[in-house]
A and B are shown apart, each in its own frame.
Chain A
Amino acid sequence: MYDSPLRKTEVDTNESKISARDVQVYYGDTHAIKDVNVEILDKTVTAFIGPSGCGKSTFLRTLNRMNDTIDICRVEGLIELDGEDIYDKRVDPVQLRAKVGMVFQKPNPFPKSIYDNVAYGPKIHGLAKNKAELDEIVEKALRRGAIWDEVKDRLDAPGTGLSGGQQQRLCIARAVATEPEVLLMDEPCSALDPIATSQVEELIDELRANYSVVIVTHSMQQAARVSQKTAFFHLGNLVEYGDTSQIFTNPVDPRTESYITGRIG
């Protein structure tokens, strides 16, 4: 019924990268996330699945404090990155987001050149001492985003002129260029066609070698293909979390089973 996992890159660790304890998120009066506890491992692809509005994207956005930009949003509980509370008053979200990068649902390249898109992060964080270094960073990021060969001859062309799949890989390259430790991806393939989707999925598996990747997806097939760990969210609760193979073949919670067999969703 499900595609077999890609498993091209064999890296396994059990080191925890992000740990969340009793996390609650409120939007005004709405309790959007309830009592979520999860350990996200380093060098692992973790998939968040669940029906629409279950809170998986909201939870993803709490991990790099993107919710800060929404006035009515409030987060309680403890989320630690490498043992440091990211909601501590002393933490500057700007610094946090450099370490926890994010890729969005719709490809959103800036209306600038391809080069400037990728160089943007390194520039604002001051990662390069000079132009040569910056060139090097950009090239590496584009290679890592598996798009270098397609764009190396037109780095000055606008990023918005690329195809949808290329744009999304450019956005991934852009996120990678700031040397994050964690990469959050919010339904990165939902706006892409199947060919572009498979390219991005392959890329995600390669990225696992260096980063902890968290991906929110609507597609259970995609979760099964790219992730090692899967978390199932339902109505703001984390229902079940475990190895992807276990969740898809032998779910513990009846709700998980209903969802993956297509009865709720």
Chain B
Amino acid sequence: MPVLWLILIVLALAVAGFIAGRARAISGAGDDRRALHSLPNYYGWNVAMKAMVPAFLALVIWLIAQPFIVNTKATSLLPETAIPEGSTLGLVMSDVRRVADGLDLAVEQGLLGASEAADLTVTGSDIRATLGSAGVAVGSEISPEILAAAQSYRSSNATGNLLRSLVVIGLALVGGALALAQTKPDFRARNAVERGIRAILVGAASLAILTTIGIVLSLVFNTIEFFRIYPASEFFGSFTWSPSFGGGSQLGIWPLLWGTLYISLIALLVSVPIGLFAAVYLSEYAGPKFRSVAKPALELLAGIPTIVYGLFALLTVGPLLLSVFGRDGLGWMQAGTAVMTAGLVMGIMLIPFVSSLSDDIINAVPQSLRDGSYGLGATKSETIKQVILPAALPGIVGAILLAASRAIGETMIVVLGAGAAARLSLNPFDAMTTVTAKIVSQLTGDADFASPEALVAFALGMTLFVMTLGLNVFALYIVRKYREQYD
């Protein structure tokens, strides 16, 4: 039974439970609603909830668990010899799955009878052709082991699906019946429903933790996989990045880290002075009218998607820089994509980020400090330079760190604007590449997911995650400490 049907059946049971529960509560109270502990609807909800929630929970767990169990079972059927030289268990298993899917399709399209598919043997028929006509292309000839595994895969899947339907519908029925039995006028239905809602709320809030766990797991597992086939000492020790999909890649992270940091540095050199001065002007000098125009104008820059900045770097800033520093000008630049191009554009993107954070932080400096300084006869700029900025310094440092973390994690601008060559160079007009750009290029190529050239992206992602997380935690800590100081 397809999952969709299962869901609909459970929902229907829940609706029926709602109606039954409500009716039972009212009749139990002798049609006098005042005799009920809770409003009638709560009794209905109570039944619906108890029919639905355990069933759906079981369904979700089943959906996650079944593939594992079926996989393990099918894998155990494959002898060592079934794995050809140069291949892996994962590759063979994907063949198994493909054959199994193909058989399913063939049965569906009537090319094979159901029992025929289960009893198929390699010698008996041309499976490859059958599958091909069902629209599933199988690369190599199918060995008997693979076919056996595929058939086991199919049969345990079928049993699993049947059991799943029985368990889920059974749970819904049992849950609903139990709840219906509870439904008496003095039953505290509202409290029961509210406990249920509260559980849902907690679940929603926990999604944040789940997401973090998901990120960590997806990075960690694949990174471990990567280090199993590529030595970590090479990854962290080599100064060369030259992936070649034929094998023999050198995947040293340093050129990428250097490119990332160099571009981020230029971005900060552009955005920090401009953003900081803009924030100072907006919070200390500008009148309300000027502020109400200039602040949103700057913040417009923050609302523009990064793909736009990427395009701006690639098609406008790059050629512009090339015309000045390129072969026709100073001769420092080979192509439009360069560290300078990406850094400049990223700097523009970060201006509003720095300025609005610093603006908040400068505004948090108490007015009494300004008064104290003005009262001594200080000018505005003296007050800003010698009182406000030193007082706001920790907060501003925090803001700059947050901006740095943004710059390090930025992807589109570097993918389009920085170039693709990984190199360790000091010339800001050279093309370089970054961690994020390489994550994109390693995972969007045609590389096999199991190859080190693709898996390296996860190790890069891990590095990126750790770096930005560290910066963020540290920056948020500084900013919080700063705010507490003036609360």
| Chain A residue at smallest Cβ distance from B372 | A108
**Given A106-B368, A108-B371, A110-B369: A124 in contact with B287 (beta carbons within 8 A):** no
Contact A66 B375 (CB under 8 A): yes
CA distance A125 to B377 in the complex (A): 8
Contact B376 A124 (CB under 8 A): yes
Contact A104 B375 (CB under 8 A): yes
Which of A16-24, A89-97, A148-156, A202-210 binds B?
A89-97
CA distance A175 to B387 in the complex (A): 15
Which of B132-140, B259-267, B378-386, B426-434 binds A?
B378-386
Most chain A CB within 10 A, of B372, B373, B374, B375, is at B375
Q: Does B391 contact A (CB under 8 A)?
A: yes
- Cβ contact of B373, chosen from A103, A106, A120, cutoff 8 A: A120
- Which residues of B in the span 348-380 have a Cβ within 8 Å of any Cβ on A? 366, 368-379
Contact A98 B375 (CB under 8 A): no
Which residues of chain B are near A174, meaning CB under 8 Å?
372, 376
CA distance A103 to B371 in the complex (A): 9
Which residues of chain A are near B390, meaning CB under 8 Å?
110-112
**Given A104-B368, A108-B369, A110-B387: A124 in contact with B382 (beta carbons within 8 A):** yes
Contact B371 A98 (CB under 8 A): no
Which residues of chain B are near A120, meaning CB under 8 Å?
373, 376, 378, 386-387
Which residues of chain A are near B288, meaning CB under 8 Å?
71
Q: Does A51 contact B (CB under 8 A)?
A: no
Q: Does A224 contact B (CB under 8 A)?
A: no
Which residues of chain A are near B287, meaning CB under 8 Å?
71
Contact A97 B377 (CB under 8 A): yes
Q: Does A69 contact B (CB under 8 A)?
A: yes
Contact B366 A94 (CB under 8 A): no
CA distance A178 to B372 in the complex (A): 13
Contact B376 A104 (CB under 8 A): no
Contact B368 A178 (CB under 8 A): no
Most chain B CB within 10 A, of A111, A171, A175, is at A111
CA distance A85 to B14 in the complex (A): 85
Contact A97 B375 (CB under 8 A): yes
Q: Digit string of A43-70 for contact with B (CB within 8 Å is 1, else 0)? A: 0000000000000000000001010010
Most chain B CB within 10 A, of A94, A96, A109, is at A94
Q: Which residues of A contact B (CB under 8 A)?
A: 64, 66, 69, 71, 94-98, 101-104, 106, 108-112, 120-121, 124-125, 171, 174-175, 178, 184
Extra 5 A-B pairs, beta carbons < 8 Å, given A66-B374, A124-B377, A178-B377: A64-B375, A101-B376, A104-B368, A110-B373, A120-B387
Which residues of chain A are near B370, meaning CB under 8 Å?
69
What 6 A-B pairs are tightest by C-beta distance, nearest first?
A102-B375, A97-B377, A98-B377, A108-B368, A121-B376, A108-B372
Q: How large is the interface on B (under 10, 10 to 19, 20 to 34, 35 or more residues)?
A: 20 to 34
CA distance A13 to B371 in the complex (A): 31
Contact A104 B386 (CB under 8 A): no
Contact B375 A94 (CB under 8 A): no
Most chain B CB within 10 A, of A96, A103, A106, A120, is at A120
CA distance A49 to B34 in the complex (A): 65
CA distance A180 to B254 in the complex (A): 61
CA distance A216 to B201 in the complex (A): 55
Which residues of chain B are near A102, meaning CB under 8 Å?
371, 375-376
A-B contact pairs, 9 of them (CB 8 A): A71-B288, A97-B374, A101-B376, A104-B372, A106-B368, A111-B390, A120-B387, A124-B379, A125-B377
Q: Which residues of B contact A (CB under 8 A)?
A: 287-288, 366, 368-379, 382, 386-387, 390-391
Which residues of chain A are near B386, meaning CB under 8 Å?
120, 124
Which residues of chain B are near A69, meaning CB under 8 Å?
370-371, 374
Q: How far is the CB of A37 from chain B (nearest CB, A)?
A: 25
Contact A108 B366 (CB under 8 A): yes
CA distance A108 to B366 in the complex (A): 9
Which residues of chain A are near B376, meaning CB under 8 Å?
97-98, 101-102, 120-121, 124, 174-175, 178
Q: How far is the CB of A95 from chain B (nearest CB, A)?
A: 7
CA distance A104 to B372 in the complex (A): 7
Q: How far is the CB of B206 from chain A (nearest CB, A)?
A: 40
| Chain A residue at smallest Cβ distance from B393 | A111
| Chain B residue at smallest Cβ distance from A121 | B376
Most chain B CB within 10 A, of A96, A101, A108, A174, is at A108
Most chain A CB within 10 A, of B288, B369, B374, B390, is at B374
| Chain A residue at smallest Cβ distance from B391 | A111
CA distance A125 to B373 in the complex (A): 12
Contact A95 B369 (CB under 8 A): no
CA distance A158 to B225 in the complex (A): 53
- Cβ contact of B378, chosen from A94, A96, A108, cutoff 8 A: A94
CA distance A110 to B365 in the complex (A): 11
Which residues of chain B are near A101, meaning CB under 8 Å?
375-377
CA distance A183 to B391 in the complex (A): 26
Contact A124 B378 (CB under 8 A): yes
Q: How far is the CB of A204 from chain B (nearest CB, A)?
A: 17
| Chain B residue at smallest Cβ distance from A99 | B377
| Chain A residue at smallest Cβ distance from B376 | A121
CA distance A175 to B379 in the complex (A): 15
Q: How far is the CB of B377 from chain A (nearest CB, A)?
A: 4
Which residues of chain A are near B372, meaning CB under 8 Å?
104, 108-110, 171, 174
Q: How far is the CB of B216 from chain A (nearest CB, A)?
A: 39
Q: How far is the CB of B450 from chain A (nearest CB, A)?
A: 57
Which residues of chain A are near B374, meaning CB under 8 Å?
66, 69, 97
- Cβ contact of A94, chosen from B368, B369, B371, B379, cutoff 8 A: B379
Which residues of chain B are near A64, meaning CB under 8 Å?
375
Most chain B CB within 10 A, of A97, A98, A101, A109, is at A97
Q: How far is the CB of A251 from chain B (nearest CB, A)?
A: 32
CA distance A29 to B480 in the complex (A): 40
Most chain B CB within 10 A, of A104, A110, A121, A184, is at A110
CA distance A189 to B382 in the complex (A): 28
